[in-house]
Amino acid sequence: MNIKSIALVGAPNTGKTTLFNALTGGRAKTGNYPGVTVEKRNGIYTSNSGKQYELIDLPGIYGLSGRSTDEKVALQHLRGDIKTAQKPDMMLAILDAARLQTHLHSILQFKQLGLPMILVLNMMDMADRDGLKIDLEKLEQLLGFPVVGITASRKMGRKALEDNWDELLQKAKLPTTAETTKLSELQRQARKIAKNTIQQTSTGRDLTRLIDRFTLHPILGPILLLAIMFFIFQAVYTWSGLPMSWIEAGVGWLQTMAYGIKIEWLASLLGDGIIAGVGSILVFLPQILILFGFIIILEASGYMARSAFLVDGLMSKIGLNGQALIPLLSSFACAIPGIMAARSIKSERDRLTTIMIAPLMTCSARLPVYALIIGAFIPKTSVGLFNLPGLVLFTLYIAGIIFAILVAFILRKTATKGPPQHLLLELPGYMIPKLMDFIIAILSRAWAFIRKAGTIIFATSVVLWFLTSFPKGGSGIRDSFAGTLGSWIEPIFRPIGFSLETVIALVPGMAAREVVVAALGTVYAVKGSEAEIEAGLASVLQNAWSLPSALSFLAWYVFAPQCFATIATVRRETNSRKWTTFMVTYLFLLAWIAAFITFQLSSLLLG
Q: Which residues contact 426 (CB under 8 A, 6 or more apart)?
A: 11, 13, 99, 102, 305
DSSP symbol at 172: -
| 5-205 CATH fold | Rossmann fold (3.40.50)
Contact (CB, 8 A) for 298 and 291: no
Q: What is the pTM of this model?
A: 0.65
Q: Report how far residue 8's alpha carbon sits from residue 115's, in angstroms, rounded to the nearest whole number.
A: 12
Chain centroid to CA 83: how far?
A: 27
Give whichever of 145-159, 340-354, 432-446, 455-469 has the largest mean pLDDT. Answer: 145-159
Q: Of 90, 247, 290, 253, which is closest to residue 172 (Cα–Cα)? A: 90
Give DSSP secondary structure letters for 1-20.
Answer: ----EEEEE--TTSSHHHHH
pLDDT at 65 over 80: no
* 23-64 pLDDT, tens digit each: 988 766 665 555 555 677 888 999 988 889 999 988 888 878
4 vs 353, residue with greater confidence = 353
- Give the type of residue at 479: D
CB-count exposure of residue 120 (10 Å: 0-12, 13-18, 19+): buried
Least confident window among 177-181, 307-311, 354-358: 177-181
CB-count exposure of residue 210 (10 Å: 0-12, 13-18, 19+): exposed
Structure confidence at residue 58 (pLDDT): 87
Cα(first)–Cα(last) distance of the chain, in Å?
84
Least confident window among 164-173, 256-265, 416-425, 514-523: 416-425
Helices 515-523 and 530-544 sit at what angle, rounded to 10 degrees?
60
Q: Which residues pair with 198 in a beta bridge?
A: 134
Contact (CB, 8 A) for 402 and 270: no
Average of per-residue pLDDT across 238-259: 85
Average of per-residue pLDDT across 156-183: 79
Band of pLDDT at residue 204, cut at 50, 70 and 90: very low
Q: Report how far residue 300's alpha carbon sits from residue 451's, in angstroms, rounded to the nearest whole number.
A: 25
Q: Report how far residue 116's alpha carbon sits from residue 104's, in angstroms, rounded to the nearest whole number.
A: 17
Give DSSP secondary structure letters for 445-500.
Answer: HHHHIIIIIHHHHHHHHHHHHHHHH-STTSSSGGGSHHHHHHHHHHHHHGGGT--H
Q: Report how far residue 436's alpha carbon sits from residue 362's, in angstroms, rounded to the nearest whole number.
A: 34
Q: Are strands 386-387 and 382-383 parallel, antiparallel or unpaired?
A: antiparallel
Structure confidence at residue 32 (pLDDT): 55
Q: Report in angstroms the alpha-carbon separations of 40 from 80, 249, 421.
A: 15, 36, 26
27 vs 302, residue with greater confidence = 302
* Per-residue three-class SS string for 510-565: HCCCCHHHHHHHHHCCCCCCHHHHHHHHHHHHHHHCCHHHHHHHHHHHHHCCCCHH
Structure confidence at residue 184 (pLDDT): 82
What percentage of the chain carries pLDDT values higher than 90?
Answer: 16
Q: Report how far residue 249's alpha carbon sits from residue 243's, in angstroms, rounded to the nearest whole number.
A: 10
Average of per-residue pLDDT across 6-26: 86
158 vs 175, residue with greater confidence = 158
Q: Report in angstroms the alpha-carbon separations of 105 from 63, 110, 186.
A: 8, 9, 6
- Domain spans of the chain? 5-205
Contact (CB, 8 A) for 524 and 359: no
Average pLDDT, the chain: 81
pLDDT at 355 over 50: yes
Q: Report how far residue 573's alpha carbon sits from residue 342's, in angstroms, rounded to the nearest whole number.
A: 9
The radius of gyration of the chain's CA atoms, rounded to the nearest angstrom, is: 28
* 418-452 pLDDT, tens digit each: 766 666 566 777 777 878 778 877 887 777 667 75
